[in-house]
Structure 1
Amino acid sequence: MAAVLNNRYAIVAALAIVVAILPLTFPSGYYLRVASLVWVSAFAAIGLNVLMGKAGQVSLGHAAFFGIGAYAAAIGPSHFGLPSWAALATGACISAALAYLVGRPILRLKGHYLAIGTLGFGVLVALVLTTESRWTGGPDGMPVAKLTVFGWRIGTAYAWYWLSAAFLLVGTWIALNLDDTPTGRALLALHDSEVAARVVGIDVARLKLRAFVIAAVYASIAGSLLAMMNGFVNPDLAGFQHSVELVTMVVLGGLGSVVGSIVGAAVLVVLPQALTVFQDYENLMLGFIIIVSMVFMRDGIVPMAWKLLARAR
């Protein structure tokens, strides 16, 4: 079982099969929309898992990069006449540069000081997006131009399902292949022991910064995709609550597990839709289920599931 879980070819192939089969079971376009939200959220969670699960660094302001990507997709076409795909790439570059500049001082912190530092950065970005109404539309947000590729305007739920799934497959493949690179092996050493990593000659500060930049780019691309899919963006995408949701996806699915990030995103996106029958008790039920999951599955859903299967065998 563990061999399958660690086989990147098997994981990507299984994910591709799931992506191909799901639309055949959906009774309406609404389910395509929910699935697209899962793919986009999972893409962002995979990037954050590189930072938290592999590098062992906590970020409570990661939605800031999500918001930067979302607003890049909105501001680029409306204010500068950029094509939508160019705005997406621009947002990723801005997020990478900002992560590099901000990460150098913030990642020197440890523990709860690091968490507070990233939280402060997230609050600052959300504040800028809220107050700079001339560029961002302020608290009310602003419309976003639909993505157009080679003259084809992507606007249907069916098209967005396949586009978001394609990004997820590519993002999953890159994250899985990271483990076989020198950077990936150094990240594993860093996660086990920062002191030991330093002893064997690993540049810990540089490695943390690299993971921070990778996670920021993932979040920015996911933000751009969601903004173009919704056709609208507001500062809530960069807010603290969204940062907590991203962290919950990673922890709930399983730290260090790419598959866990996808499962965690699916749970956190689909579960609220399923709990709407409880109306006023929806948030209460969601919180209760998450608490129970974390109490009985401390390693996350996917690692615990594989342990149970291994014991059963």
Structure 2
Amino acid sequence: MSNESLGLTPYVSLGTFVIPLGGKYPVFLAGILLYLFCVFCNVTLLAVIVLRRNLHKPVYFILLSLPLNDLMGITAMLPKVLLGVLTETNRIPYPLCVLQAFLLHLYGGGILFILAAMAFDRYVAICMPLRYSAVMTPRTVVCVVALVWSLDLVLITLLFSLQSRLPRCRSVIANVFCDNPSLLKLMCGDTSINNVVGLFNTAVMQAASVSVQAFSYVRILITCMVSRRTHAKKKAINTCVAQLLILIIFEIVGTFTILSHRFQDVSSDVQKIMGVLIFIISPLLNPLVYGLYTSEIRNTLLRLWKNRVFV
């Protein structure tokens, strides 16, 4: 059955935030400044890693994927949400709604896989320092990065390809952005397979990421405890703190977002804000955290700031 026969428009209506009269302009301005700041920080991190030869190492080549993923996530979500705040008519063409949902889910899975790849690199560097160059060869690093993106892309493509078999019979989404659960609510027919695949994808992503990181950081912790070199311990801990911090923050915000939809007492605006935070926290904190905790990036940025120009 076609969308025309169901009386559907080619647009999807999204939810909006309840903002007091006259408050939408400050909210829009603050959101735009936040977006530009996130873009600036992530582009700066990308540029520093690409342009500075002292950062052309396996760990930083893997790290390149993180700002790219963050830029994709925040760009797919925040500008459209801010436009809805400004115009108070949050409509989006259905194909763009599907594209937004696809990119946002790709972003979420990307964070988990990228952090797992970075944890594995730190495990090899700290627990097998003499074999690091032999294990993390340029070919190995390229294969790791390719595996991260291809696995993420395959899982998300599988999830969204199942939607094409179902007709759409609704055009209103309660959320302020498009995601897979919201899109499923627009469909007619049996969505049980979609739900099972969605849970499977989530389980695979979480299990793969958490298991790799847990194994890596436990082995790193054991290595640091038995090591007699105080400087080596401190360097190893500082290296891993940044990645653990990003993972913990992402998981906490994600957990609170899920829980906010499970309790009826939580207002819809709080649920919407928690959903938006998932796509803002990481793009905002990642470049700041890695700039502060990673000595090579921090020192490189300080030298560039003093010189005021890339050389």
Structure number with the bigger relative contact order (C-alpha 8 A, sep ≥ 6) is: 1
Give the TM-score of the pair, scaled to structure 2: 0.25
Is the radius of gyration larger for structure 1 or structure 2?
2
Give the TM-score of the pair, scaled to structure 1: 0.25
